[in-house]
Amino acid sequence: MSQPHLPPGRSPQRAAEEWFLRRGLPSVLRPGRLLRRLLVRSAPALGAFAAMMAFSMLTVALTGRHTIDIDGTPSRTEWFLLAVVALFLPTAALVGWLVSRLASPRARLAVAWASVALAVLGAVLGGPSPRTGFNLLVDVAVIAAIISCTATGLGSILGWAVRLTVENLTSVGRMLIRALPVMLLTMLVFFNTAAWSMAATLSRGRLWVALGILVVIAVAFLTSSTANRLQPTLAPEAKRAEPAGALDDTAFARLPDRPNRVPLSRRERVNVVFVVTMSELVQILTVAVVTGLIFLVFGLVLVSPELLSVLTHGGSASGQVLGMTLPIPEALIQIVMFMIALTFMYLAANTVSNDEYRAQFLDPQLDELQVTLAARDRYRAYTASDRAEAVAK
């Protein structure tokens, strides 16, 4: 068996633990291991937050205000500000990804401290409020939340979900084909006067409650179905040899295997079910959001001020998005939100009984899960023998 290449100074155990964290499985790690190198591991999230604060400073510098309020026809500066809004999240995600690619712990630590310094500067020169003290409190709360997520392992799951979302963009085309029936159905909603009138008069809070109920039902249904499918795979007697070479280029190539699987703890079971379910939800949500964006662009092209007045009986031509006032009709924003939820529910229900979906997406995940569980068994065997040696000494 070939030996994997490990960076200088990195032990097989540490490399194995980083492998589990990249896959969103922090529950496999031994107690106390998640509390090590918190700032180094938090660097990608801190970098993304610093990028957001930099955008906040740019917004304040352009507008002189701590909020974005574009009502009516945008000026040249406001068009530039709209471009900044569009690039806000992608740029933050890109910064986080670039930081995650840094192999040197010292470089990551330097980025982490630089990000904290930039966040503090952003609280003074930007931030969500003109009150510097309030902005600093928000900064402290966000940084504390990032470090807490890293310490509990939730950060590794969220980071894995972000990477999975980016990877799923390549399969959006295939899943959009499966969403065509509901897209054709929502076309009837899109050009329905009653639906537009409801979207124009319904408060955002009521809409969130209604959409939340629909999404919770879909998520609960999919989670229950996924948990039932995973039960045979997670049983100790289901252990089988991983595919040849599956772990050759990982830190687990040096670790001993064990013939029998130690039963997964309740925490590990919840983690595995959550990760597999989340992978399905991320795929579905990605397609639903892309579908919603298609309708958003469609509405911006077709819905003229005159047509908007007819559909909504004089509804507003501007709307609220994340606290920002943008030149997008409020009714269009809310009806797109409803379409995203409708597409999400349809795809969630369809994946449970669709054999083609299971063959394309779920079965490969189950095969990968077998490899992950084999790696977990090797890690358990290694750490158990390591503890035994320490006790003997």
Q: Quick one: how far is CA 385 from the chain centroid?
A: 36
| Alpha-carbon radius of gyration of the chain | 24
Of 40, 43, 48, 44, nearest in space to 10 by CA: 40
Eight-class DSSP state of 360: I
Q: Do 273 and 218 meet the contact criterion of CB atoms below 8 Å apart?
A: no
Q: How far apart are CA 147 and CA 34, in angstroms?
A: 11
SS3 69: strand
Other CB atoms within 10 Å distance of the CB of residue 220? 11
Work out whether strand 324-326 and strand 319-321 pair parallel, antiparallel, or are unpaired.
antiparallel
Of 124, 97, 111, nearest in space to 46 by CA: 111
Helix, strand, coil percentages in the chain from 3-state DSSP, rounded to 5 = 75, 0, 20
Structure-token pair, residue 246 = 């599956």
Instruction: Give me the numbers of helices (H) and strands (E) for the chain, helices first please.
Output: 15, 2
pLDDT in tens, the chain (393 residues): 333 444 444 566 777 788 888 888 888 887 678 888 888 889 999 999 999 888 888 888 877 776 776 666 677 777 777 777 778 888 888 888 899 888 888 899 999 999 999 999 988 888 777 888 888 999 999 999 999 988 888 888 888 877 777 776 666 666 666 666 666 666 666 777 778 888 888 888 899 999 999 889 888 888 888 888 888 777 777 666 665 467 777 777 777 777 777 788 888 888 888 888 888 888 888 888 888 888 888 888 888 888 888 888 777 777 877 767 778 888 888 888 988 888 888 888 877 777 766 776 777 777 788 888 888 888 887 776 655 444 344
Q: How far apart are CA 39 and CA 174, in angstroms?
A: 39
Q: From start to end of 157-256, where are the E strands? A: none
Q: How far apart are CA 70 and CA 27, in angstroms?
A: 46
Q: How far apart are CA 21 and CA 270, in angstroms?
A: 15
The pTM is what? 0.73
Q: Do 139 and 1 meet the contact criterion of CB atoms below 8 Å apart?
A: no
- Those residues whose C-beta lies under 8 Å from the C-beta of residue 7, and which sit 6 or more positions away, are 15, 103
Q: From start to end of the chain, where are the E strands? A: 319-321, 324-326
